[in-house]
Structure 1
Amino acid sequence: MEEPSIPFELRDYFERSNIALALAAAEPDNPLVLVNEKFRSLTGYADDDVIGRNCRLLQKDVENREARERIHAFLEGDAQASVRTPIINFRKNGEPFVNLLYMSKLRDRSGRPRFLFASQYDISRSHPERLAEYDAELARTLSRMTPALSENGIVIEGTLMAIANAASLIAQAKVTLSDLDGPDLS
């Protein structure tokens, strides 16, 4: 795989970001080309573990049918500018978590997708106020990245409408995680 040219400003922004970020090439199987320290902390995976591989490695053998359908619809067409969905992932140590995944396409000036931008947030054991903080930080991230990307001929798709505080997602994540952890025998 030939590594796509990632603008310095984007690399720099990724490393300074306060939220978990990943960047994949917009090519067959969408291999990861960049992850930041928050991603590494969240997942436990080092760059060598994930760069060049599809992010689905975080899913292990879990079905994630609804989330996968939403992601595939986003990847296969242009009807959606972005996607946001909870998906069961696993840390490198095997610990499951419910990831609130946000994805958007980064396109060059001709409209061709160059990268897939993604942000991850563990909603498994979260609190609604923390999700609101994450949503605000993701909105700031997208706003701040836009000028740097624009200078390099890249446009981020999607709107901040995809970022909506959803406390119900946290409740759903807690139920899903309790199902993964097994029955409560206390």
Structure 2
Amino acid sequence: MYTLSNLSKITALLLVVTSFSTQASTWRAISALEINIGGDDDGGGAAAVSEYSFGGSYFSDGQFNSSEYQKILVNSSGGGSYSFNNWFSYMNAPQVDITNMRVDFSALVFTGWYSNGTPAIGWEVGSSNWIPIIDNGNSTYTASWITPAASNLANPGGYSLSITFAPVPLPASLFLFASGFITLMSKAKFTAIRNKLICSNQSMLT
């Protein structure tokens, strides 16, 4: 027999599923804006701007991707990409902390590529500190910071990087399954109560 306690547990399960959809653990980097503050590499000229879009790979809290150089963002002109790589001990797996509105992108790496698809150059661009994020109000968030790679480059102005990302929603089929399961359990409980009442009435008549 399905009791009220059983149904309460199932309802709690659905609430947990809903909570996971709003506090996602998997994220999609939507776009990035990279600004060479000093212009060209000799520090002159106007600030150079490069735009990036989704590279085909998601990233998850507390996890490195299964292989190196899985692109979360790619340059629109094919000039480079961003990924999370575990190169050095200070590089942590990516972590989005919505509660405190911050991210750990210490493992973020920029990579240039040869035409044959092999990496040409790479350097770390993440911050070793937590990076504040802003809520854009449309279920997306943006983290902005000055990359530490600036100190290793000829450009004295540095590079600023802004990455906009969003949670990857749970499949709609999961919600349909959960809601359908609760409906089924509710019907089962109703049937059990009805049968119990019928048996009780029959016992009183005999």
Rg larger for: 2
Same fold (TM over 0.5): no
Q: Higher strand fraction: Structure 1 or Structure 2?
A: 2
TM-score bin, normalised by smaller chain:
0.3 to 0.5
Instruction: Give the structure with the higher percent helix.
Output: 1
Normalised TM-score (structure 1): 0.34
